[in-house]
Amino acid sequence: MTKIHIGQEIKQEVQKQDLTIEDFANNLHLASSEIENIFNKTSLETDLLLKISKLLKRDFFSLFSNYVNGNAIEEAYKEIINLLKQKGDKRYIAVPDWEDECEGDDGDGTEVSIFGIGLDDDDEICVAAVVDNIGYYGNGPDDFPQEWTKVTELYEPDYRAFHRFVVDNIDKAMTKEEADEVTKEYWHE
């Protein structure tokens, strides 16, 4: 099991932001020697970690939740693949009329609504999605591919939400051709 070395994570973020130890110490109202001690710690008091997170504008607490949830995410990912493989050639789920959806984004500020999840010929998870809030924030319909797209194109895919979508809609599993018919409702050609 991987251990999180919070002090090293903080040190890397300080270096990434080009802060000197002295500036970092002054902003926290600590001596420079105390900062070196922080960099060497594997755990910190919650109040201090909160101050550091606010100062560096980075949520260091999320490192722990990602660590704790890592197994659940991996299990959800594997279960999606397993469930869709069991359906034979009906490895796609696309729901019509916004009966169900889950969310995602591409990491560049484009949020998408995912209305389909499938398993391509390489056994890789793919999604069918449309851009949310077209016209707002400069988003257009072509800011995310209007085709089945590998889930790795999303920024931090939420496999647990995708798993829920697949489980809730597994009875709607269909072939790729059938799923492509459903996508015509959403995608503009």
Domain boundaries, the chain: 6-58, 88-185
Banded pLDDT at 165 (limits 50, 70, 90): very high
CB neighbourhood size of 108 (10 A): 8
Is 1.10.260 the CATH number for 6-58?
yes
Average pLDDT of span 20-32: 94
Average pLDDT for 73-98: 91
How many other C-beta atoms can be found within 10 angstroms of the C-beta atom of residue 162?
Answer: 22
C-alpha triplet 123, 127, 131: angle, nearest 5°: 160
| Mean pLDDT across 38-57 | 89
Radius of gyration of the chain (CA): 22
One-character DSSP codes across the chain: -----HHHHHHHHHHHTT--HHHHHHHHT--HHHHHHHHT-S---HHHHHHHHHHHT--THHHHHHHHHHHHHHHHHHHHHHHHHTTTT--EEE-GGGSS-EEEE-SSS-EEEEEEEEE-TTS-EEEEEEESSTTGGG--GGGS-SS-EEGGGSSS--HHHHHHHHHHHGGG-B-HHHHHHHHTTT---
Q: What is the pTM of this model?
A: 0.60
Where is pLDDT greater, at 2 or 4? 4
Which of 3-7, 33-37, 43-47 is the most confident on average?
Answer: 33-37
Flag whether pLDDT at 1 surpasses 50.
no
Q: Which residue has the higher pLDDT, 109 or 60?
A: 60
